[in-house]
Chain A
Amino acid sequence: MRVGLFVTCLVDLMRPRIGFSALKLLEAAGCEVVVPATQTCCGQPAYNSGDRPNALALAKKVLAEFEDCDYVVAPSGSCAATIRSHYVDLAGEEAGLAERMAKLAAKTFELTDFLVNVAKLEQVPGKYAGSITYHDSCAGLRQLGIKAQPRALLAQMPGVQLREMSGAEDCCGFGGSFALKFGEISAAIAEKKCRGIAAAEADAVVLGDLGCMLNIEGKLRRMGVATRVLHVAEVLAGDAGQEER
């Protein structure tokens, strides 16, 4: 099957290694992976800021780039959710567009969801040795039902000890532009989250969304907490630099 990897802009800019981890995982699952070179942003910042015209322009761009793939996979719950849950709404009345958006939405998946439920990855390729705690990102959890999938994959890795934190499903306070508009409130919410992470006493907090990742890492470092912050793709692909102790 031909899978289009939607890298997402934050991975592109901030953490390219996660894009390569996602690529490795999809190939391990037997997918033919294409990475459209012109891809940029899914339009979520514009959509969540109330700017429909700009959001629609970017949605159409994503549609043109990925329409011919069998599946679209993103290492991000919130970008996948933007395509899955909101592109049809954005399409509006334009002739035929909503139908095309609906088809795109139906074949778009968050990475761990895709690996477990579509590609049915049998053997996680990477190794990891250490304890982790898992943060459930809001869009993935509450829009796409991503909860069991990453845990099922991590459970295949003998070196991983999962220590659930209290409040794993609580928002980290990122909220996209929310963190830039209401920095103090956002940081207060992040602090609560990070206290829960620190209390789990794991080597790393693992998650599946870049926004949460930057927010949590930034807050942990400001608090002087050394817990590593890893994307689930890095751990599964064995790219976390912690293959053995």
Chain B
Amino acid sequence: MQVRSMHFKARAGEKLADAKLQVNLGRSKSKFVDKRAHAILDLEDFEATREAARQLRDLTLKDLDLWLERFEQEATRRGATVLWARDGAEVCQLVIDIGRRHGVSKVTKSKSMLSEEAGLNQALEAAGIQPVETDLGEYILQINDNEPPSHIIAPVFHKSKEDVSALFARTHHLPPKTDIQELTREAREVLRPHFLSAEMGISGGNFLVAETGSVALVTNEGNGRMVTTMPGVHVVITGIEKVIPTLEDLATLMRLLPRSATGQSISNYFSLLTGTARSGETDGPAHMYFILVDGGRAAMVGGEFAEMLRCIRCGACMNHCPVYQAVGGHAYGWVYPGPMGSVLTPLFAGMENAIDLPHAATLCNQCGVVCPVKIPLPDLLRRLREKQVERHLRPWSERLALNIWSWVAQRPAWYALATKFGVRYLNWLAGGQASIPVLGLAPEWTRGRDFPAPEGKTFRELYAARRAPRREASR
């Protein structure tokens, strides 16, 4: 997908002014935050499970190459073909090659964020293969001129049912429906012939289990089952960091994933797909391919951002982020929004293409405390800010202001003088009022709020004055 993260601030401004979007974003608390808070209560020891998940992810990632080789062996032994892609372009080429080999003219797709990274739908269309998104949210986006998703698990979170109703009526040429169940039924009826006619199915993968060569899929709509079992060819596209050693590890992570994502103890569908259909089996594809993608991940192994590879893509960080809640996912400008995206976008799509994102956070650490694999997201954002400073990517005005403050703060005499006059100046600006409505030094601040006036003297002045008579008296 094209990276538009350089325009974060301008896009955020548009999103804040979009009254309809603001209503839709307001659902975040009841839809995600409250449900998650409730769902984690039925785990006997949520914190211990989080810690176990963190450890198992770290241990696997430490020997990522070995676990990937093991996965390849086990998957190959069960009839699948494992292919490797360095980047999105290679993903697209591999999928097109597979499609051509099997004479495919139509593919059904279950949700895959990796295919969003790669821009797969556009590449397939250009190659004459018709992609059909079958996740309801992704389908809505596809028929809306390939609109990008605004959330990793709820891709149309920014839309209301009225938006969808109008879109369906326009696209399907059927009378508009207002009831969500009727809209869903309409989508099912439109999608059914595609499920029956597609020669190839493409899915993502929530986890890859090394000991069995399986892919685990967590879905809520049942479309994943049809995409992965009905066509003769199934292609799994996922990142190399998704591998875990054992089914036991899968059980640990599955206690956390649906609860953190949607507040469900288990998703409506949970599939563990292993190998091609064996002789005598009526279900399952005759051909199964895994495309395991690097896309910037391998370079993170063992480095300062390695902790981000633990991510299991639940979306809890964005659901709980005050900035995401205010501006929604599209403002972030690439595949992954919220705190997760503010770390991943600079790492995957280039630091210079996402200058604002590491700063688009209050560092409130709400993301850090809800992350099911304990990724210290604020620390990683801060580390990215350090990289920007090291690479001279920050504006000179910001660097100058910080250098002046730090220079003064290291020299108490200068600091005393500067603050003495500074607070008097601000107090003069306030003109006897409790606050300053427009402050030229901080225009961003006073656009949306007043600047409270200082008291007029600094603590150090007042404290020195208070001590002075005592000293006189004791002489």
Within 8 A of B (CB), among A39-84: 39-41, 43, 45-52, 54, 57-58, 61
CA of A213 to CA of B455, assembled, Å = 14
Do the beta carbons of B385 and A20 come within 8 Å of each other?
A: no
Any B CB within 8 A of the CB of A181: yes
CA of A54 to CA of B410, assembled, Å = 9
| Set of chain A residues within 8 Å of B461, measured between Cβ atoms | 16
| Chain A interface main SS type | helix
| Set of chain B residues within 8 Å of A222, measured between Cβ atoms | 437, 448-450
Do the beta carbons of B385 and A48 come within 8 Å of each other?
A: yes
Do the beta carbons of A16 and B362 come within 8 Å of each other?
A: no
Q: How far is the CB of B355 from chain A (nearest CB, A)?
A: 11
Would A219 and B361 be within 8 Å (CB), given that A14-B455, A40-B412, A181-B444 are in contact?
A: no
CA of A56 to CA of B365, assembled, Å = 22
| Set of chain B residues within 8 Å of A58, measured between Cβ atoms | 406, 409-410
Q: How many B residues face the partner with a CB closer than 8 A?
A: 66
Do the beta carbons of B365 and A13 come within 8 Å of each other?
A: no
Q: Please give me the residue from chain A that is nearest to B398 by CB atom.
A: A49
Do the beta carbons of A219 and B448 come within 8 Å of each other?
A: yes
CA of A4 to CA of B435, assembled, Å = 32
Any A CB within 8 A of the CB of B403: yes
Do the beta carbons of A179 and B445 come within 8 Å of each other?
A: yes
Would A142 and B406 be within 8 Å (CB), given that A182-B444, A219-B449 are in contact?
A: no
Any B CB within 8 A of the CB of A170: yes
| Set of chain A residues within 8 Å of B369, measured between Cβ atoms | 142
Do the beta carbons of A183 and B362 come within 8 Å of each other?
A: no
Do the beta carbons of B463 and A19 come within 8 Å of each other?
A: yes
Do the beta carbons of B12 and A183 come within 8 Å of each other?
A: no
Do the beta carbons of B405 and A221 come within 8 Å of each other?
A: no
Within 8 A of B (CB), among A216-245: 217-219, 221-222
| Set of chain B residues within 8 Å of A150, measured between Cβ atoms | none
Would A51 and B450 be within 8 Å (CB), given that A180-B442, A189-B362 are in contact?
A: no
Contact with B16, one of A12, A142, A178, A185 (Cβ below 8 angstroms): A185
Any A CB within 8 A of the CB of B165: no
Which residue of B403, B408, B449 has the most chain A CB atoms within 10 A of its CB atom? B449
Q: Please give me the residue from chain B that is nearest to A191 by CB atom.
A: B448
Once A and B bind, how many residue pairs between them come within 8 Å at the CB atom? Answer: 198
Any A CB within 8 A of the CB of B172: no
Q: Please give me the residue from chain A that is nearest to B410 by CB atom.
A: A57
Q: Please give me the residue from chain B that is nearest to A181 by CB atom.
A: B359
Do the beta carbons of A185 and B403 come within 8 Å of each other?
A: no
CA of A41 to CA of B459, assembled, Å = 13
Q: Please give me the residue from chain B that is nearest to A221 by CB atom.
A: B450
Do the beta carbons of A46 and B359 come within 8 Å of each other?
A: no
Do the beta carbons of A184 and B448 come within 8 Å of each other?
A: yes
| Set of chain A residues within 8 Å of B459, measured between Cβ atoms | 7, 11-12, 16, 19-20
Interface string of A27-48 (1 = CB under 8 A from B): 0000000010111110101111
Any B CB within 8 A of the CB of A214: yes
| Set of chain B residues within 8 Å of A97, measured between Cβ atoms | none
Do the beta carbons of B409 and A185 come within 8 Å of each other?
A: no
Within 8 A of A (CB), among B1-29: 9, 12-13, 16
Within 8 A of A (CB), among B358-414: 359-366, 368-369, 382-390, 394, 398, 402-403, 405-406, 408-410, 412
Q: How far is the CB of B328 from chain A (nearest CB, A)?
A: 11
| Set of chain B residues within 8 Å of A170, measured between Cβ atoms | 322
Do the beta carbons of B389 and A183 come within 8 Å of each other?
A: no
Any A CB within 8 A of the CB of B415: yes
Any B CB within 8 A of the CB of A17: yes
Q: Which 6 A-B pairs have the closest CB atoms?
A: A187-B448, A175-B362, A183-B444, A50-B385, A54-B406, A16-B459
Q: List 9 A-B contacts (CB under 8 A).
A: A7-B460, A45-B405, A50-B386, A50-B390, A175-B364, A184-B444, A185-B16, A188-B16, A192-B326
B residues touching A (Cβ–Cβ < 8 Å)? 9, 12-13, 16, 322-323, 325-327, 359-366, 368-369, 382-390, 394, 398, 402-403, 405-406, 408-410, 412, 415, 419, 422-423, 434-435, 437, 442-452, 454-455, 457-464
